[in-house]
């Protein structure tokens, strides 16, 4: 039996019995190495360290740290007030505030889980006190948090660019802006419909022009972070990795000296949380690299590529098949290892079929991210259920209209390539 077959079977077994994804990938690699006897066990160590030995990968811990610093500096409250002033007075106002706030916060955190656990938990409590169904508030939060990995800076996009040499981090960052905006609009549409059906009211009074100007001015430093990152990269002032360091210093200055809410005594806890999250991300990346190495050395990507090319699928047919496959795959596997394992196999095939690599990247990232809110395994559902104290069954029931909305966005993203690649090409990214 070949090492790749042993690898895939053992991975399925480990995942089925509840082994965490990172360890399941590592253990299945060890199993394949031991049973097949084709390679020494040293391969696991070598490829694990090779997988994380990358200069662009240094951006991950710094972006994580920047997000923690901004959160520690009471940024959440600032963004809530900024978003609420525009939409809070409308029917379903707090629902719109939820969507807008999480979208802005996505431009800082780059993580769906951080969005749901941070500002998301606060928004759920606010909506509950205002008379919204707590389960509905949790479903809206989980569905909107999907924007986190789509809008830059996105950790998943950094990892994708490492797995596919045909796209750059900067191009993917820019490519996520329009799809992220479309997702936010889709969530607002669902909130409008549900709020109309259930008569969820907004605030009684709308803010004055003076109040709007004051709130916007206060929120401006926080909102400018994604602009500085993308603008600096486009202008050639710094690389994505250097941009992450700039983001850290900018977040520190904003929290300590602009908003004056970040205390020095809180920094050790922030560093500790950042280190823990970074370690978990790098562990997944390293184990995924060794897992993917066996597949590559066994010729699985080439076999799959040749098989699909021989089928003579049209680009659109190929994308439909890929969408179905990724949606099913994403139910059981987290986005990060999914990107590490699948992209080296699928990206070359997509290129041979004639699909724009940026367009394909956005389809892969969106599909795998959707798996986080797809029952029965979605990790984002468990996080949201925990922070909101809403039973998973109630959360899943309220999730249905949002899943339909995400399905519509996925169709649009698939069949309108310009939504992904127009802006990167206009801005000169390749």
Mind listing the pLDDT tens digit for each residue in 291-319?
888 877 877 767 776 777 677 778 888 89
Give the tokens for residue 381: 């559902």
Q: What is the pLDDT of residue 185?
A: 93
- Let me know if 58 is exposed, middle or buried by CB neighbors in 10 A (0-12, 13-18, 19+): middle
For tokens 């997988």, the residue is 51
**pTM, two decimal places:** 0.82
Give 205: exposed, middle or buried? Use CB within 10 Å, 0-12, 13-18, 19+: exposed
Burial class (CB in 10 A: 0-12, 13-18, 19+), 6: buried
The dihedrals phi and psi of 428, each to the nearest 5 degrees, come to 90, 10
Query: Which pLDDT tens digit goes with each residue over 112-124?
Result: 777 776 677 778 8
CA distances from 425 to 107, 201, 365, 417, 418 (A): 21, 42, 19, 12, 10
Give the pLDDT confidence score for residue 414 in this predicted structure: 94
pLDDT at 303: 75
> Where do we find the tokens 């984002």?
380
The pLDDT value recorded for residue 204 is 59
Res 73: pLDDT: 54
Q: What is the pLDDT of residue 376?
A: 62
Q: What pLDDT does residue 58 have?
A: 80
Q: Count CB-CB contacts under 10 A for residue 181.
A: 15
pLDDT at 43: 77
Please give the pLDDT value at position 329: 80
Alpha-carbon distance 243 to 231, whole Å?
10
Q: Give the chain's radius of gyration (CA, Å).
A: 22
How would you write the pLDDT of the chain (430 residues) with one tens digit per residue? Answer: 577 788 888 888 887 887 877 788 888 888 888 887 777 878 788 888 887 777 777 888 888 888 778 776 566 677 777 776 766 667 777 888 888 888 877 777 667 777 776 677 778 887 888 788 889 988 998 899 888 888 887 888 888 988 888 888 888 988 999 999 999 999 999 999 998 888 887 665 677 778 778 888 887 887 787 778 777 877 778 877 888 888 888 888 888 888 777 788 888 888 888 888 788 778 888 888 888 888 778 777 677 767 776 777 788 888 998 898 888 887 777 788 888 888 888 888 888 888 999 999 999 999 988 888 886 666 778 778 877 888 888 888 899 999 999 999 999 999 999 999 998 888 777 6
pLDDT at residue 211 in the model: 76
């Amino acid at each position: 039996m070949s090492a790749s077959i042993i690898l895939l079977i053992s991975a399925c077994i480990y995942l089925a019995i509840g082994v965490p994804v990172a360890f399941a990938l590592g253990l299945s690699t060890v199993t394949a190495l031991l049973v097949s006897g084709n390679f020494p066990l040293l391969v696991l160590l070598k490829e694990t360290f090779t997988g994380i030995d990358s200069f662009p990968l240094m951006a991950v811990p710094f972006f994580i740290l920047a997000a923690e610093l901004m959160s520690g500096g009471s940024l959440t409250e600032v963004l809530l007030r900024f978003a609420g002033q525009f939409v809070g007075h409308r029917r379903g106002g707090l629902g719109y505030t939820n969507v807008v706030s999480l979208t802005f916060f996505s431009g800082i955190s780059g993580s769906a889980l951080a969005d749901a656990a941070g500002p998301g938990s606060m928004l759920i409590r606010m909506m509950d006190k205002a008379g919204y169904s707590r389960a509905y508030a949790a479903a809206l939060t989980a569905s909107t948090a999907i924007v986190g990995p789509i809008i830059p800076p996105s950790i998943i996009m950094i990892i994708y660019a490492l797995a596919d040499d045909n796209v750059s981090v900067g191009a993917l960052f820019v490519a996520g802006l329009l799809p992220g905006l479309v997702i936010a609009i889709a969530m607002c549409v669902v909130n409008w419909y549900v709020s109309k059906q259930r008569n969820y009211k907004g605030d009684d009074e709308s803010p004055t022009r003076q109040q709007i100007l004051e709130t916007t001015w206060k929120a401006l430093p926080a909102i400018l972070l994604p602009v500085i990152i993308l603008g600096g990269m486009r202008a050639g002032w710094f690389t994505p990795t250097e941009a992450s360091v700039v983001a850290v210093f900018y977040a520190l200055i904003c929290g300590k000296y602009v908003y004056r809410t970040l205390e020095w005594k809180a920094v050790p806890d922030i560093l500790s949380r950042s280190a823990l999250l970074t370690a978990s991300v790098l562990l997944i990346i390293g184990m995924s690299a060794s897992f993917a190495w066996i597949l590559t050395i066994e010729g699985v990507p080439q076999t799959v590529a040749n098989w699909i090319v021989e089928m003579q699928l049209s680009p659109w047919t190929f994308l439909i098949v890929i969408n179905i496959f990724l949606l099913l795959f994403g139910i059981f596997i987290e986005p990060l290892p999914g990107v590490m394992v699948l992209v080296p196999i699928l990206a070359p095939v997509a290129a041979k079929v004639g699909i724009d690599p940026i367009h394909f990247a956005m389809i892969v990232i969106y599909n795998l991210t959707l798996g986080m809110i797809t029952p029965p395994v979605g990790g984002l559902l468990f996080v949201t259920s925990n922070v909101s104290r809403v039973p998973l069954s109630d959360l899943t029931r309220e999730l249905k209209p949002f899943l339909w909305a995400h399905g519509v966005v996925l169709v649009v993203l698939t069949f309108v390539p310009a939504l992904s690649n127009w802006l990167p090409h206009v801005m000169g990214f390749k």
